[in-house]
Structure 1
């Protein structure tokens, strides 16, 4: 069976759940908000992992789970814990439950989308950029510094530059404008990543196993994810077919990062060069399903049940 972990109303999770049900695949749902009635325990003995999961009063063998899709929110923010003291039984049970669930996901022999350890590559953008370059992608010329003078020199050389966080915390990508220079001294307290601005077409590639779903995004703002906030007058999504070599390179990059599901941010410039900015290990793909009709949630459901090769063959036979 398939195990889904998270909040059922959260858009990406809701879409995967709907596809799993449409395909008639046996499944369980661990709703984080129902943590009080959930229990999990496992043991590893002689190389064999066994255990049980209790949901809504029913017990299931962990060995029967063949695929896991997890989008767990920070359990400390669950509404059911509001008003509970930090040391309460509810807090302790919730924390322990999630700790054991996450550790089981790291060890489980089934397919897990995605395991925690590989997802940590996104916690450091500079580290991930090295892995991206080693996979054969171009990356924009980058400066990471807390020295305002270096930023000014970099801007003088490149003309247009953007800045963003170097951590895994999502930040809005912005172009460095004249009005930003008056507060540039603030970076002395925290290094910031600056990159040359690449003019061209944004392409978000979702990799699911060995399937590739590419979407071209055209807009008049720097960061299409925050188009409305940045005052975009134009935002358009279009499914596109990547050249075979580029599609294969995206699959290889996701595999190198050990991510069965990955959101890869590319940009193709006027000369046809393709740059890679980063790889999102927990992409909110529902945005692209809604705006470009990409069947990503169905691919995830098929991958969880049939695996990569079988999933592609079944899709090709349809």
Structure 2
């Protein structure tokens, strides 16, 4: 089994998964785009009598291609070789980034499992398409307005008697003068926020009706199956964003079992999007209804097992990469866990490397 992982450097998920695959007898190749073309080489060829062929050398002088599995964990920015003239940096990095993106699909073969296929992965980021397909797949979705139309936003606020929230299209942070950082989060909208025409027009946003919550679900789809975590986000008081509200996503999270119909609905939804892996966020209302919020094509998932060791995220994902099914099968290697990863020398080495990079 030849597995390629496309990743950003010092990603704890990648280090844990690499170790997990090694325990299962598989040694993955990892392509850090931050190192290209400073480290490694790649090529693509095609001709009138030759089919397309791509080759990747990760710096060890061993060209590879035809990977059986490609996991697009995160795709970083490229970095020019040492000694490049400052005037050339922008051109080199622009050409390099364009090249790695267009050559990537050719590093597989006809039977390659993509997690996720590059073009489907990019299309999955379209929040509007996410909601439209969720509705088509039978999910209930929040009433939603997207854009920067001043009149439309104010009318939407009045339509829902002021019970609306605002979300950004992508994670965003600001560096503050005191060294701290401010992160964008799901926030309640007050009438005072809508007074400035400039503020509403300057940056398009996602506005949704505020849905009352009993609790929330984080559903991680892997191929034809899924693992779910229940997040009791309201246990310690009302919360709009469990990722930001006092660590509720860790302290109030535990394993749960989805009704078979809901699990398959999530799997079908990913299939409609064209992705094999995704982290779906759902609300369960006080009346027991299920409301779709969004899907993250490369969301964090190992935190589920850190919060509740009964959720076998690392084992499931490594089996999915190595064997195509997250569920253990007869004859496969023994189960692995985040606890075993944290106790390993590989984890200590990865943490030391990460600390050194952050301190540099």
Q: TM-score range by the shorter chain?
A: 0.7 to 0.9
Structure 1 unmatched ranges of 5 or more: none
Structure ranking higher in helix proportion: 1
Residues 278 and 87 of structure 1, relative CA distance in 2, 3 Å threshold: same
Matched, 1:202 2:216: yes
2:355 is matched with none
Matched, 1:240 2:256: yes
1:225 is matched with 243
- Structure 1 residue 204: deviation in Å? 1.0
1:312 is matched with 327
CA distance in 2, matches of 1:79, 1:291: 40
CA distance in 1, matches of 2:84, 2:20: 36
2:340 is matched with none
Equivalent residues in 2 for 1:1-318, closer than 5 Å: 1-35=2-36, 36-43=38-45, 50-63=53-66, 65-76=67-78, 85=86, 87-88=88-89, 91=93, 94-95=96-97, 98-104=100-106, 109-159=111-161, 160-165=163-168, 167-168=169-170, 171-183=184-196, 185-200=198-213, 201-219=215-233, 220-228=238-246, 235-293=251-309, 294-308=311-325, 311-312=326-327, 314=329
TM-score normalised by the chain length of structure 2: 0.74
Aligned length in residues: 311
- Structure 1 residue 198: deviation in Å? 0.8
- Alpha carbon RMSD of aligned pairs, Å? 3.3
CA distance in 2, matches of 1:16, 1:242: 25
- Structure 1 residue 186: deviation in Å? 1.6
Structure 2 unmatched ranges of 5 or more: 173-183, 335-360
| SS, match of residue 314 in structure 1 | coil
Q: Deviations over 1:117-161 (max 9, x none)?
A: 112234432222111111111101112343444434333332311
Residues 117 and 11 of structure 1, relative CA distance in 2, 3 Å threshold: same
Q: Deviations over 1:38-63 (max 9, x none)?
A: 11224467896544321232324412
Mapped contact 1:209–1:251 kept (Cα < 8 A): yes
CA distance in 2, matches of 1:177, 1:234: 29
Mapped contact 1:7–1:31 kept (Cα < 8 A): yes
TM-score normalised by the chain length of structure 1: 0.83
